[in-house]
Amino acid sequence: MRELGLTEALSNLPDPVVAAFALLTQLGDVWFLFATLGLLYLLAGERIASNPRRSGALLIALSVGALATTLALKATFAFPRPPNAGTASIPPWLPPALEAVYLNVATGSGFGFPSGHAIGTTVAYGGAAAVLDVWNRRKRALVAGSLVGIVCLARLVLGVHYLVDVLAGVAVGVTYLAVTLRVAKGDPTRAFSVAAVAAAVALVAVVVRGVPSEFGPVAVTLGAAAAGAVVWRRLDPTERTVSVPVAATGLALSGVPWVAAYLGDVGLVPSLVAGAVGLSILVGLPALAGRSDGQKNDGTSRTA
């Protein structure tokens, strides 16, 4: 029913074209979305949004919820990917050192319906178009739609999804985005709470369907969503300037627990803690940086 023939029709494209789409698909990968939104949260100024810190936190909350929703739906339907999703032809011009990286980005594993890349990009880029102030709304929507379209096409070219998978992913993303924005009303705490509910539903789904391999990722999203709601509520609302080195360091540190939980298969509770710690570092960094600057200034005053 999902096999409409488009994935097969795109399977014979030249290697350079496939390699280009393997790179473009990273625009919808979890690491890229969270890194981009994390930097926006930490560094964006008022030219991007009237309240960039609040808008950035809202977008992070939306993406956490999108990931949780993806995990819930994949576990519920448990539909497989296309037969050759786990294999890829290595371009002859690719350096041997990059072959493993290429295979990682050009293939897919796990369940295929709906497309997580389609859900994630729709929520992240669609959310950015909805809450940011840069350009005008029409141009933001056009850019967001183009990015979503490119990522969806890349998933088809790589043969890791059927057309139905990406169309369903976009529909789910639009629905989740619309519902969460309506419930949150611009409040990141509410958006994180919606994400926590989605993660709890995902946890029930993987337990009921018996998919132990997804316990860790679901627990990470649940811990992240719960921590985000708590930390943002307690965060000093005063805008704190974060330097680029501090932002880059904080973003890297926030990702360490998530990567460790994902790669280490550490179990339910450690994954829950990892998600909470990682999100707390990211969301709490501006307040921590502000306190550190304040303590330095107090010390300088005393010394003077």
Tally of residues, the chain: 304
CA atoms within 13 A on the CB side of 233: 11
**Structure confidence at residue 302 (pLDDT):** 37
Per cent of the chain over pLDDT 90 is 73
Residues in CB range of 273: below 8 A, 6 or more apart? 223, 257
Which DSSP symbol is given to 85?
A: T
**Structure confidence at residue 289 (pLDDT):** 76
Which residue's entry shows tokens 């999100």? Answer: 279
Q: Label residue 238 by pLDDT band (50, 70, 90).
A: low
Ordered by start, the domain boundaries in the chain are 6-294
**Structure confidence at residue 1 (pLDDT):** 54
CB 67 within 8 A of CB 30: yes
User: Higher-confidence residue: 12 or 200?
Assistant: 200
Question: What are the pLDDT digits (tens) for 119-165?
Answer: 999 999 999 999 999 989 999 999 999 999 999 999 999 999 999 99
- Residue 125: how many other CB atoms lie within 10 Å: 26
CA–CA gap between residue 297 and residue 304 (Å, rounded): 10
Phi/psi for 197 (5° steps) reads -65, -45
Flag whether pLDDT at 52 surpasses 70. Answer: yes
Q: What is the pTM of this model?
A: 0.92
Radius of gyration, CA atoms only, the chain: 20
Distance set, CA 285 to CA 42, 217, 224, 228 (Å): 8, 23, 15, 12
Flag whether pLDDT at 304 surpasses 70. Answer: no
Q: Label residue 303 by pLDDT band (50, 70, 90).
A: very low
CA–CA gap between residue 133 and residue 118 (Å, rounded): 24
Q: Which two tokens stand for residue 31?
A: 């690491």
Q: Which two tokens stand for residue 180?
A: 């969460």
**Structure confidence at residue 301 (pLDDT):** 40
User: Higher-confidence residue: 291 or 20?
Assistant: 20
